Homo-oligomer: A and B are copies of this chain.
Amino acid sequence: MAKSKPAKPSRSAKPADLSAPQPYVVIIAGGKGERFWPQSRAARPKHLLPVVGETSLLAQTLERVRGVAPAKNTFVITSAVQAREVARVCRGLIPAANIVAEPAGRDTAAAVGLAAALVGARDPRGVFAVLPADHVIHDTAAYQSDLRAAFAAAGAADVMVTIGIAPTEPATGFGYIQRGGEWGRVGAGKVAKTVYEVKRFVEKPKADVAAEYLKSGDYVWNAGMFVWSVPVVEAAFAAHAPELDAGLAKIRAALKKKQALAAVLKKVYPTLVKISVDYALLEKSTNVVVVPSSFDWDDVGAWPAVAKHFAADAAGNVGRGEVIVEQGGGNLVFSEGGHLVTLLGVDGLVVVHTKDATLVMPKARAQDIKALLAKVALRKDAAKLL
């Protein structure tokens, strides 16, 4: 009997390797965004605002990962106070059940543990990305290409994959990742990417140190973008954060038994150790690799950073809403609700008008907004205004 020829692989629209795990994405949408006051409020922080573009930064993030992970595999972890507005933004983009509200903010390690539990309940070997909700990225194709490379690396080996942002200035506001040697290559042809070992994570540096980092070419910014498998994350928690892992185990157990998540979160979550995932896991792990980014990136840290995402007039003024600037330059003016904001003879100011509050400050003073908000907090109507 003649041996039958093996079937020729079909060129179907489905993924070639049906056994490869489907990617998951967990977006962490919990920031406070005080720096965008008065547009941002406790229940409406930066990622829920259209500070750049026509939709909120969270919606933009959800749109951007579409094509990498299906909507049903995309989760959003947010805070209780923001849950309602997050649900509104996510409507039609991901299933409502994929929005999980933290009963209390416990920093990023707990959020990553919760993310791993959510993905693990669907697929115990699932590979998932943890991504911030409040960054601005215009080059979606390059972003998706880098993200796919990170998924490929995390799917191929037991590594914690970071996406490191190519630094454009000696910033002192970000943590840095020092690259080591080449770890491997993922993808092929035009989308082939080199993945590097990580030598170390470093805290926000001083200006002179940041300048050295930039000069060396060995450092990238840590933007809080990670891709890894459920087992790798669980192993890291067990090895480096056993106390936190014990709490997370209760959440995993509840999800396994299909218990109501909200109830167990309410009980367990506030007891979790409050620590960043960088401190808790990444800085202590030796299996961390980095995919250098090829996309534009901006965390839009405060009002002045918004300006560069909009077309300015000849004098460098950026206006949004009903705005007139006469004899002044370099101003950023946002006005909501059809209210006319006029500037005469001023330069370099940020002026933001909302329905119930207006802010006027020099761009150079944007970092001091907390001192102003401390005064707003003393008002009887502070709860409404903050």
Residue A369 CB within 8 A of the other chain: yes
Say which residue of B326, B342, B344, B368 sits within 8 Å of A357 (CB atoms): B342
Say which residue of B342, B349, B353, B376 sits within 8 Å of A346 (CB atoms): B349
Tally chain A residues at the interface, Cβ within 8 Å.
Answer: 34
Known contacts: A340-B385, A385-B340. The answer to whether A346 contacts B372 by CB under 8 A is no
Say which residue of B335, B349, B372 sits within 8 Å of A342 (CB atoms): B372
A188 CB to closest chain B CB (Å) equals 53
Q: How far is the CA of A345 from the CA of B372 in the complex (A)?
A: 9
Residues from 289 to 343 in A contacting B, C-beta threshold 8 Å: 324, 326-327, 335, 338-343
Identity of the chain B residue whose Cβ is nearest the Cβ of A338 in the assembled complex:
B356
Say which residue of B326, B341, B349, B357 sits within 8 Å of A375 (CB atoms): B326
Residue A371 CB within 8 A of the other chain: yes
Q: How far is the CA of A385 from the CA of B338 in the complex (A)?
A: 12
What are the residues of chain B within 8 A of A340 when measuring CB–CB? 38, 356-358, 376, 379, 385
Residue A360 CB within 8 A of the other chain: yes
A312 CB to closest chain B CB (Å) equals 17
A336 CB to closest chain B CB (Å) equals 12
Binary B-proximity of A354-375 (CB < 8 A = 1, otherwise 0): 0011111110110011011001
What are the residues of chain B within 8 A of A365 when measuring CB–CB? 327, 344-345
Say which residue of B342, B364, B368 sits within 8 Å of A358 (CB atoms): B342
Say which residue of B338, B341, B368, B379 sits within 8 Å of A327 (CB atoms): B368
How many copies of the chain does the oligomer comprise? 2
A366 CB to closest chain B CB (Å) equals 9
What are the residues of chain B within 8 A of A357 when measuring CB–CB? 339-342
Residue A351 CB within 8 A of the other chain: yes
Q: How far is the CA of A79 from the CA of B364 in the complex (A)?
A: 47
What are the residues of chain B within 8 A of A361 when measuring CB–CB? 343-346
Identity of the chain B residue whose Cβ is nearest the Cβ of A374 in the assembled complex:
B326
What are the residues of chain B within 8 A of A356 when measuring CB–CB? 338-340
A346 CB to closest chain B CB (Å) equals 6
Identity of the chain B residue whose Cβ is nearest the Cβ of A326 in the assembled complex:
B372
A356 CB to closest chain B CB (Å) equals 6
What are the residues of chain B within 8 A of A353 when measuring CB–CB? 353, 358
Q: How far is the CA of A95 from the CA of B365 in the complex (A)?
A: 55
Q: How far is the CA of A102 from the CA of B35 in the complex (A)?
A: 53
A55 CB to closest chain B CB (Å) equals 26
Say which residue of B327, B358, B360 sits within 8 Å of A339 (CB atoms): B358
A3 CB to closest chain B CB (Å) equals 80
Are A344 and B368 neighbours in the complex by a CB distance under 8 Å? yes
Are B327 and A376 neighbours in the complex by a CB distance under 8 Å? no
A185 CB to closest chain B CB (Å) equals 50
Are A371 and B339 neighbours in the complex by a CB distance under 8 Å? no
Are A344 and B324 neighbours in the complex by a CB distance under 8 Å? no
Known contacts: A345-B362, A351-B360, A360-B346. The answer to whether A372 contacts B324 by CB under 8 A is yes
Are B341 and A371 neighbours in the complex by a CB distance under 8 Å? no
A100 CB to closest chain B CB (Å) equals 34
Are B344 and A369 neighbours in the complex by a CB distance under 8 Å? yes
Contact sample, A vs B, 5 pairs, CB 8 Å cutoff: A327-B371, A340-B357, A344-B371, A345-B362, A360-B360
Closest 4 CB pairs of A and B: A345-B365, A344-B361, A326-B372, A340-B357
